[in-house]
């Protein structure tokens, strides 16, 4: 049975939709945005949502966003927990412009997917983990 995602629109952008077979859903700029290189702006995505209970949303730029507009998502990724669900809890894209750019209203600039919340963990301090080392962070152990 499909999970219900309630969406409230704050402007006349195209409605969000899940493309069959895709795990990610595009989000759009809810405003025309003019940025100069080095500027920061929280771009409104024009929606508030109520996520299904026990889920959170992960937001990332679309693969074409940097090439088209030269903007970066300043935190690298956005996380929206399911308590951010009020009528005026409008989702945003915190953007940093690497060059002068214009982003038109309704441009698809990022995407999201919902994920189940992490289960509760019992954190245990130990002296030894007892596993083989992989030769450092970022290495597969093969050279």
Please confirm, yes or no, whether 133 is among the known catalytic residues. Answer: no
CB 143 within 8 A of CB 136: no
Of the candidates 23, 32, 81, 100, the residue annotated as catalytic is 81
**81, burial (CB in 10 Å: exposed 0-12, middle 13-18, buried 19+):** exposed
DSSP letter for each residue of 62-102 = -TTHHHHH-EEETTSSEEE-TT--STT---EEEEEESS-EE
* Active-site residue list: 81
């Amino acid at each position: 049975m499909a999970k219900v995602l309630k969406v409230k629109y704050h402007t006349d952008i195209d409605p969000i939709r899940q493309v069959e077979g895709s795990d990610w859903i595009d989000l759009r700029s809810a405003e025309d945005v003019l940025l100069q290189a080095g500027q920061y702006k929280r771009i409104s995505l024009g929606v508030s949502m109520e996520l299904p209970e026990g889920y959170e949303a992960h937001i990332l730029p679309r693969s074409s966003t940097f090439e088209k507009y030269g903007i970066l998502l300043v935190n690298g990724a956005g996380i929206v927990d399911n308590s951010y669900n009020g009528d005026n809890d409008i989702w945003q894209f915190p953007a940093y412009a690497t060059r002068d750019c214009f982003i038109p209203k309704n441009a698809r600039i990022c995407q999201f997917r919902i994920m189940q919340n992490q289960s509760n963990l019992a954190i245990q301090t130990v002296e030894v983990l007892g596993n083989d080392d992989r030769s450092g962070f970022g290495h597969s152990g093969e050279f």
